Amino acid sequence: MPGVILVTNDDGIHAAGLRALAAALEDLGEVYVVAPDREQSAVGHALTLHRPLRVDQLGERRFAVNGTPSDCVNLGILGLLPETPVLVASGINHGANLGDDVTYSGTVSAAMEGTLLGVASMAVSQVDPAGEGFAGAAAVARAVAARLLVEGLPAQTLLNVNVPPGPPAGVRMTRLGHRVYSAKAVQEMDPRGRPYYWIGAGSPTWEKEEGSDIAAVHSGWASVTPLHLDLTHHGALRGLSGWEGGLNAVLKQRAP
């Protein structure tokens, strides 16, 4: 018997990409949609800890939460769903989540939260869906999810999927590239003469590195990038171990 699949996003419960992803996965399990009640783009991995969360049931197996994507996954797995899901699928995001975007993305963070809670998870994003819609990303998401449910994933690992506009040439397994938003903050003045600021203005710059997710998508391929939750730089840890003696000596000298 197919298991339960949790679908969420950061564009909100009414987003077209969310509907496309839920429809694409319907034949793989019993799909439950638990998503923010409004757009939560770029909220990262935030959890709501200082106010209660409200949940509105909008239909059969369809819930809106006044919180973040990570809140939705947490609530879904630990409270709303009838059983632990076999898959968390986040998306389809309206726009790419390539390279350094994953550190800000609510879409990717929802999949991270699923992984932290022990559920196989994936995030799916579509470049410029306005022109072509979500058909390409939905087809890739369904194919990747079907393989993931059979093969599983290594511990603490999730998949970040990005699909170019239009039908992709195919799928490439990739690593994260380097994509940076470096435009200056834009200052404006309110009617009372006080300054306010917009960040995130301007287009990102990126490096065309062979084998990266950015290079694949810009060449017309869908990218599938495995991400690991262990952020430790193990090589640096070995190199920095030599600091211990000197640091401890300094602290010992300054101890009262």
Instruction: Check residue 236 and give its pLDDT.
Output: 95
Interacting residues of 1 by C-beta distance below 8 A, sequence separation 6+: none
pLDDT tens digits for range 70-100: 999 999 999 999 999 999 999 999 999 999 8
DSSP line for 192-210 = TS-EEEE-S-SPPEE---T
4-179+207-254: CATH number: 3.40.1210.10
Side chain identity at residue 253, one-letter code:
Q
Averaged over 27-31, what is the pLDDT?
Answer: 97
Instruction: Check residue 202 and give its pLDDT.
Output: 65
pTM over 0.85: yes
Side chain identity at residue 218, one-letter code:
H
The terminus-to-terminus CA distance of the chain in angstroms comes to 66
pLDDT tens digits for range 124-173: 999 988 777 899 999 999 999 999 999 999 999 999 999 999 899 999 99
More confident residue, 174 or 1: 174
Instruction: Check residue 229 and give its pLDDT.
Output: 96
Give the closest residue to 118 by CA, choosing from 83, 61, 157. Answer: 157
